[in-house]
Amino acid sequence: MRYLFPPEGRVTLQIFANLGFMLHFFILGVQLNANLLKKVGTNAALIGSLAFAMPYVIGGLSYLTMRSLMPMDQTLRTGLVVVVTANSLSSFPVIISLLSELNILNSELGHLAIYTSMVSDLCCVCMATTLTTVGAFREHSKWNSLSSMFWMVFFFVVVLFVLRPFILWLTKKTPEGQQLEEFHFFVILVLVFGCAFCSQYLGRQSAFGPLLLGIVLPEGPPIATTVVKKLDTITNGLFIPVFFAISGLTTDLMAFRGRRALAITELVIIMGYVGKFVGTLLPALYFGVPFRDATSLALIMCCKGITDVAIYNAWRDGKIMDDLCFGLLLITMLIVTGIARIMVGRLYDPSRRYTAYGRRTILNSSNNSRLRILVCIQNEEHVPSLINLLEASNPTRFNPITVFVLQLSELTGHAVASLVPHYHLKKVTSQATSSEHIVNAFNRYEQRQQGSALVQHFNAIAPYSSMHDDVCSLALDKSTTIVILPYHKQWTIFGSVGATNRSIKYVNGKIMNKAPCSVGFLIDRGQLRGNPSVVIGKTFYRIALLFFGGVDDLEALAYGRRMAEHPNISFTLVRFKHEKVPTKKGEVNPEHELLREYTIRAAMSKEKNQYREETVKDGSETTQIIRSMEDGFDLVIVGCHHDPESPLLLGLMNADWVECPELGVIGDILAATDFTFSVLVVQQQPPTSTCSRSVQSRVFPASFDDEGDCPPPHSTNPISSDESKRCPV
């Protein structure tokens, strides 16, 4: 080890470690929102307070018991007191990093853990400040203590009322969506190091100043996003590992030999972790948190990280803690945190609650019920086609719709994920933002509908790895019937693929697997035809539905039925049949009944609605017919999944040919670049129960006397779906 890390080289490593430590806390601070404390509820406050106090109680009792049973020298007694204090820590930055790694940052448990750790950390800061002040008055003169407090307050004032306004003035002319100029970024970096020097000079940790400067600056773009992009990789990829390496190199394992104090110290450490676990678990259970979630929360609060290691290092360097306590605290931290992380990953699954609710599909909805649609948007380019789709949904006074517009943004420049109504977001610039453009477009759509459509706006800021949880949570809370997702590819006006977002593809796949309702993928090619409008077009807006059979096609047909009644839409239902599979007379089949009803309706409105049957023998002929429809429609609807043994798809099920399996075989063909119409691929929510006789009555109830044996499913969502109620985040 001496040859691998010579003593003269450790100085350089220590410099890199301290640099990474300062930058890490500045990056964290600039992503934090100082208003988070306002969102802390009573439950989180009490859980956090007990999570801070119980390690003191149980650890302190263990220390007093051991001291009464066996003699201890002064060094061991002092070390055990420090160990009891160390076990009470629950670092807020560490908890956020852990939640992000576990992909539960924006889950219900994640939000509770964030607020709980924030309260616990605040208790630690208050106690540390009190003890430091009292100790300073005892060890030094009152004048020196008051002078130290004055300069610390003065430092706060300078950071808040001088540096913050200066940085905001420096960066206020940065265009929306752009990063800071290099010179502006360099100035901020100099101020960070200046704050680190001042805090060190005033007797605080060098990271205290950068953390304070980061907290007073606004989160999000342009400052936070620029800082994260330029510093996060090198800090977390190089400097922070060096920091941990230095801490490990300075750990003296030889101090563990022949020490009777080792068992005593380790026992007090373990009892402190027990206090942390019990102090979190019991109040969480008292407030009604499920046992698995409460256990996961308790395990999360037991985890430690870079902040704790930095505190241990400071205490050891200040001779407050000896090498034995330092080494045992580090090793126990590694073991407990490693085990807790694995157990939380096994115990907590945020998608578990989505599977406990009844079916929410268009097919299973009553004919006169309000259609509730959740529309997800990443950028402005999707807006025209999405509004066209909503127009085509034919909202009327008797069949109204409610639209929940969810704008999805990647968690960049923010430490905590959020899902909030749009009006909760503060406007960061005086210019109209892209988000405001989207809101205005949908608001104008709502005004045109004159009461037949209601629009609510939400914003989700989350990492791509867990963004689907926000979508599914909102769909569940608002009792939506279908979620409309934009496709991860965008087309240029020349018909070629202009951009591909693999992260959005990942999010879409997760939503498709876990959504508590039906899902629709919208492949937007409206710009290739000048975005024809359903409302103001001089001709019919042409929609075709390709029907191959199966529950997804039935869901698509249920949605298409609403569209077919729109006065400005020409709707064509194309049914594909195999030439060797004739329909048996007297056969009762929901698909046949639905199709028969549509043919009756199409015959009554020959001018705008049509029904066609195409007889094919294999997938090759199916593809030829689909390609012959290229110039005849503006939008094509198709179900996602079909019977893999169907002769209609023979030869098309080769996995090597399918580029986007989440769209299904036909959807993948329609997503090819040589088509110019938009495509809506519909997937019905996976069934939780079977009810076949009520299928046709729920789609065309007016034409059947038999209403079916199964009653319409009722929502079991305990959260009210009243239109005036907003997302409970």
Backbone angles phi, psi at 32, to 5 degrees: -90, 150
Do you know the residue count of the chain? 729
What's residue 655's pLDDT?
A: 58
Mean pLDDT of the chain, nearest integer: 77
656 — pLDDT class (breaks 50, 70, 90): low
Q: Which residues pair with 574 in a beta bridge?
A: 546, 612
What's residue 212's pLDDT?
A: 84
Nearest of 16, 11, 80, 21 to residue 305 by alpha carbon: 21
Cα distance between residue 34 and residue 11, in whole Å:
36
Residues 6+ apart with CB under 8 A from 225: 179, 412, 413
pLDDT at 234 over 50: yes
Q: Which residues pair with 680 in a beta bridge?
A: 522, 637
Given this structure, which CATH class describes domain 7-348? mainly alpha
Asked whether the whole model's pTM tops 0.85, one would answer no
Amino acid at 551: V
Instruction: Please write the tens of the pLDDT for every residue from 389-408.
Output: 898 888 888 888 999 999 88
Cα distance between residue 433 and residue 96, in whole Å:
29
SS3 category, 546: strand
427 — pLDDT class (breaks 50, 70, 90): very low
Angstrom CA distances, 387 to 373, 439, 695, stand at: 12, 12, 29
What's residue 537's pLDDT?
A: 52
Residue 219 CA, chain-centre distance (Å), reads 17
637 — pLDDT class (breaks 50, 70, 90): very high
Is 425 within 8 Å of 459 (Cβ atoms)? yes
What's residue 1's pLDDT?
A: 56
Instruction: Please write the tens of the pLDDT for every residue from 258-301.
Output: 567 788 888 888 998 999 999 999 999 998 888 999 999 999 99
Percent of the chain with pLDDT over 90: 8
Domain boundaries, the chain: 7-348, 356-424+432-703
CATH of domain 356-424+432-703: 3.40.50.12370
Angstrom CA distances, 232 to 23, 87, 206, 238, 426, stand at: 9, 29, 19, 10, 25
Mean pLDDT of 42-59: 88
Q: Which DSSP category does 169 fall into?
A: H
Instruction: Please write the tens of the pLDDT for every residue from 294-334.
Output: 999 999 999 988 888 888 887 887 777 778 888 888 889 99
599 — pLDDT class (breaks 50, 70, 90): low
483 — pLDDT class (breaks 50, 70, 90): very high
Percent of the chain with pLDDT over 70: 77
- Domain 7-348 matches domain 356-424+432-703 at the CATH topology level: no
701 — pLDDT class (breaks 50, 70, 90): very low
Compare 689 and 46 and report the one with higher pLDDT.
46
Instruction: Please write the tens of the pLDDT for every residue from 340-363.
Output: 999 998 888 877 776 645 678 888
Is 285 within 8 Å of 291 (Cβ atoms)? yes
Cα dihedral 682, 685, 687, 691 sign: negative
Count CB atoms within 10 A of the CB of residue 695: 21
